[in-house]
Structure formats: C-alpha cells, structure tokens
Amino acid sequence: MFTGIVQKAALHKIVPDANGWELVVHASAFAKIVQLGDSVAIDGACLTVTKIEGELLSFFVSTESIAKTIIAHYQVGQIVNIELPMQPTGYLGGHYVLGHVDATAKVVVLNITPTAWFFKIEVPEQFAKYIVYKGSIAINGVSLTINEVHENVIELCIIPTTLDKTNINQLIVGSIVNIEFDILAKYTEQLLLKRTV
C-alpha cells in the first residue's frame, strides 16, 4: 500500500520480450533501501524489484500491465514518479493508494498560472461514479484532491511543490496518465451492492 507522496526517478532502459518488459530505473534515493522482491510504485503501478545494480532498479512488467497503463508509452530518459510502500510507523501524507491502476485518462485542458497549474482530465465514463468533489485520486501515482467535477471530467490544482517533485510538470494537453480511484469509494460500492442483493 502506498500514500501517493512520490519522488522523481529516470527511466534508464527498456528491455522488451515476448512476455513483457524489463524496466530499469535510475533511482539513487531508493537503491540502497530496497531489496529484491520489494514492491515499488512506478507512476502509480505497483511493480516488483527483480534486480538491483548500484543505483539501478529493475522491474518486470507483464503484457497486461503494459496494455492497461501508460507504461506502453515509456521512452528511455523520461522522468517517472516512484514511491516505496507505506511504513506502519510513517505519516499518511496522501491517501491509501494500492498501486493497482484502474485506467488511463487524458489531459484535456491545462491552465498555467503564476501560483498553480490547473488540469482538466477526462476519465472513462464507467469510472465517473468514483469521482467525488474534494475527494482523493491518484494521477501517475500522485495523491491529489479533486478540485471540480463536470460529469466525467475532473479539475486538479497542482501547487509548485508538487510540480517540482513529480513528473506532473511534464504533462501537456493530450497527455495520457495512469489513474487510480479512491479504494474507499470502491469498497463502499461493493458494500451497498451486497446490501441490495
């Protein structure tokens, strides 16, 4: 489980094969901390560490994960968001993020002001039921608060600190992002469905 409070890392290498891809990420802040088999979130997708070589961490990505996330669009050298799992003794600075990407979504509007960036992101219609005004959402693994809701379009306000520490500042109109909806909304839906059966 993660919190959506991320750091930046760089994609060092992509090695494709018939069963998936090996991603190699230059992550100097985490390389001495993680161990083989640890879970790490890359742009919000929970992946397992398969190799550690100096400051390089390797991950295997299945064909299903490639198809359902922005990993399919990765290029060597690009910046990714990276996060280690939440520690029981740490602060919950964001919200509960599982690292299970629900879908991808498109940036449809970007408004840059001197104090913040405002994004409008169009999410797939079937997930609109999980969108809550002032609720939490994870975009590329970053825990954010929904600023406005217009059917299946959400607005997000990104402050300079978040822009500096994440790859959100790389997004433009038309960019595709990973999106994970709040697990509490999904659990609530399941409980309500079971009560009506």
Q: How many residues does the chain have?
A: 197
Both structure tokens of 135: 């609720």
The region of weakest confidence among 36-40, 84-88, 113-117 is: 84-88
C-alpha span between 82 and 44 (Å, rounded): 8
pLDDT in tens, 71-92: 999 999 999 999 998 776 666 6
Confidence class for position 194, pLDDT limits 50, 70, 90: confident
pLDDT over 80 (residue 164) = yes
Note the pLDDT of residue 106. Answer: 97
Q: How many Cα neighbours within 13 Å face the side chain of 15?
A: 8
- 197 burial (CB, 10 Å; 0-12 / 13-18 / 19+) is exposed
Write out the E strands in 99-186. 103-112, 117-122, 136-139, 142-150, 153-158, 176-181
| Helix (DSSP H) and strand (DSSP E) numbers for the chain | 3, 12
- Reported as a pLDDT band with limits 50, 70 and 90, residue 26 is very high
pLDDT score for 90: 64
Other C-beta atoms lying within 10 Å of the C-beta of residue 86: 18
Q: Compute the average pLDDT of residues 161-172.
A: 95
pLDDT given for residue 89 in this prediction: 64
Residue indicated by tokens 């059917």: 151
pLDDT at 187: 75
2: which 2 tokens?
Answer: 């993660």
Whether the pLDDT of residue 197 is over 60: the answer is: no
